[in-house]
Homo-oligomer: A and B are copies of this chain.
């Protein structure tokens, strides 16, 4: 039944957000209620669509990018499930879906996140996500300014793996890879052709495998070594989030 499938998707959206936010701070019961409420306000967008701001991405991949006057594109960051997407507002940026995506409208969450008294947990989580967003921009600047094409590709793959893994969407050596080589080129400041040759070099050396939407990192340590990759810091925890995730799963699950 359609409504059951919808409820299932909402439940997964809620779990995802609880996992992402809960890893950054302890969430109270009312925080979880807000998350649950947000999870029910699902909206789908097709690949290539411009996304509105002030939402949370819950499935699919998006990009923050700018298109220059001569048509050249630069991708600033990838938005992955669990990430908030601050649309337009800031600095001549557009938010574009790279795959079919689902978002939830979350005015309650964004508002609560400003209230560090009533919703200390959510506020802390959102602040942590803002900080991380900046950290990722800085890492991207280093990639573009100081790494070779070969290093850039390895570095980006590791970053994506880490960000996906912490919301349960990647394993240590395997991650979904829906990006076309053109999109990778737009992010890494390279030409499509050179992205292709760079991937082949990594393949030839047995470091990665890329096929049909899946990337396999055969030797993550070697990859990290060659590009001096620094993993994102493990977040501090003020309470055990695992239990919370389960509580939310129970709360949001479709009634049997």
Residues of A whose CB lies within 8 Å of any CB of B are: 66, 68-70, 72, 74, 76, 89-93, 131-132, 134-135, 137-142, 144-146, 188-189, 228, 230
A70, A141, A145, A146 pick with most chain B CB within 10 angstroms: A145
- Evaluate contact between A230 and B92: CB separation under 8 angstroms: yes
Contacts of A228 in B (CB 8 A): 68-70
From B92, B135, B144, contact of A189 by CB (8 A): B144
21 A-B pairs with CB atoms under 8 Å apart are: A68-B142, A68-B146, A69-B228, A72-B146, A74-B142, A74-B145, A90-B131, A90-B135, A91-B131, A91-B132, A91-B134, A91-B138, A91-B139, A92-B135, A93-B138, A134-B134, A134-B137, A144-B144, A144-B189, A145-B188, A145-B189
Copies of this polypeptide in the complex = 2
- Whole-angstrom distance between the Cβ of A247 and the nearest chain B Cβ: 31
In the bound complex, how far is the Cα of B91 from the Cα of A126, in angstroms? Answer: 16
Check B66 against A135 for contact (C-beta < 8 Å): no
B141 pairs with A74, CB closer than 8 A = yes
Q: How far is the CA of A189 from the CA of B93 in the complex (A)?
A: 23
Whether A146 pairs with B91 at a CB distance below 8 angstroms is no
Q: What residues of chain B lie closer than 8 Å to A139, measured between beta carbons?
A: 91
Name the distance in Å between A223's Cβ and chain B's nearest Cβ.
15
Please give me the 6 A-B residue pairs with the lowest Cβ-Cβ distance, nearest first: A145-B189, A91-B135, A144-B144, A74-B145, A144-B145, A69-B228
Report chain B residues within 8 Å CB of A144: 141, 144-145, 189
